[in-house]
Amino acid sequence: MPPEKTPGRSFVTRRAIADVVRAATLGSYGVTGFAGGPFERLLGRTGLVQPGLSIRLDGGIDIALDLDVALGVPVAEVARQVDSAVRYAVDRALGREVRNLVIHVGGLRLQPAGPPPSIVAHDAASVGPRDLADSGTDVA
């Protein structure tokens, strides 16, 4: 038997919505970060502004995103993925639908990659990434 419902209201802050949108966006394939000018980024470090993210709450939820996308991935596919992820996350977290979602791609960014594991410097006293494979041990 479900618990008895109590009438009331709940309020969600703009910052909470921004956190949900930010997590959904950065978790999407191909997104390397939010775009924004140096002034916006400076204000973002102080917590006054969310660079690359704008939310309006006028009878519905309107979201505008300025993103940087990884070089070499299809931009249209990244935008579709972000759209789907943000709409799902907001609906799941708040129980409300996003009325309008605008995605601007501000630029392409080359993601630096670290060296492959076989090139990493190896200390003779520690176990390296290839030690188990080179020992002939079967790993399941």
- For 14-111, CATH number out of 3.30.70.1350, 1.10.340.30, 3.30.450.90, 3.30.450.20 equals 3.30.70.1350
The span from the CA of 110 to the CA of 72, in Å, is 8
Mean of pLDDT values over 83-106: 93
Confidence of residue 134 (pLDDT cuts 50, 70, 90): low
Mean of pLDDT values over 106-114: 71
Of the segments 12-16, 48-52, 95-99, which one has the largest average pLDDT value?
95-99
Of the segments 11-25, 40-54, 115-129, which one has the largest average pLDDT value?
11-25
Domain locations in the chain as residue ranges: 14-111
Alpha helices in 27-125 (DSSP H): 38-46, 75-94
In the predicted model, what is the mean pLDDT of the chain? 79
Take residue 127 and report the two structure tokens written for it: 């176990």
| pLDDT value of residue 2 | 58
Identity at 44, one-letter amino acid code: G
The span from the CA of 129 to the CA of 7, in Å, is 58
Contacts of 128 (CB under 8 A, 6+ apart): 120, 122
Neighbours of 63 (CB within 10 A): 22
| pLDDT value of residue 116 | 44
The span from the CA of 107 to the CA of 66, in Å, is 9
* Residue 110: alpha-carbon gap to chain centroid: 17
Per-residue pLDDT of 23-74, as tens digits, reads 999 999 999 988 876 776 666 677 666 778 999 998 889 999 999 999 888 9
